[in-house]
Amino acid sequence: MVGTGAVERVATGMRWAEGPAYFRAGRFLLFSDIPNNRMMRLLEDDGHLSVFRTPSLNSNGNTVDPQGRLVTCEHGGRRVTRTELDGTITVIADSYNGKKLNSPNDVVVATNGSIWFTDPNYGIKGNYEGLQAQQEQEKHNVFRVD
């Protein structure tokens, strides 16, 4: 680990915490609590933890794009979305070659704005972390959206 500070637990009570994304402008951290179908917000200044979005469609991986918008992988929605600065949600990807994505998992945004994400199938194998569904993509893939 970089730095000299001690590891500190800053949040508890999640069934499965995943996908932390830090928002510098707002000084808060967002992360997914997948089986509880919610996204949480942790304020940096006072450590206050609150629900950011519920239902979150079993959100998993999150990141921040160069414009400061949230980009999220959703198991339940089988899609990748972007939360615009006004709060509206834009679908970035939900299919490939006419077939639904499996269960988008992790996501990054490159400096040029392209969005890269992984798409394994475990989010559709049962109802614990998504919604059980038929797999349409034949493989576990990595995708890019320009």
In a domain, 99, yes or no: yes
Distance CA 39, CA 28 (A): 13
Q: Determine, yes or no, domain membership for 3.
A: no
Does residue 88 lie in a domain region? yes
Cβ-based neighbours of 92, under 8 Å, separated by 6 or more: 71, 79, 80, 81, 82, 115, 145
Query: Token pair for residue 110?
Result: 């490159």
Residue 97: C-alpha distances to residues 72, 93, 144 (Å)? 21, 11, 13
Q: pLDDT > 90: what percent of the chain?
A: 88
CATH code of 42's domain: 2.120.10.30
Average pLDDT, stretch 25-33?
A: 97
7 assigned to some structural domain: no
Give the burial class of 39: count Cβ atoms within 10 A of its Cβ; 0-12 exposed, 13-18 middle, 19 or more buried: buried
List the domain range (segments joined by +) for residue 132: 17-145
User: Looking at the 3D structure of the chain, how many domains does it have?
Assistant: 1
Q: Is the pLDDT of residue 1 over 60?
A: no
| Confidence tier at 4 by pLDDT (50, 70, 90) | confident
**Hey, what are 18's tokens?**
């995943």
In a domain, 124, yes or no: yes
Residue 131 tokens, joined: 């919604």
Q: Check the CA dihedral 137-131-85-20 and report its sign.
A: negative
Say if 1 falls within a structural domain.
no
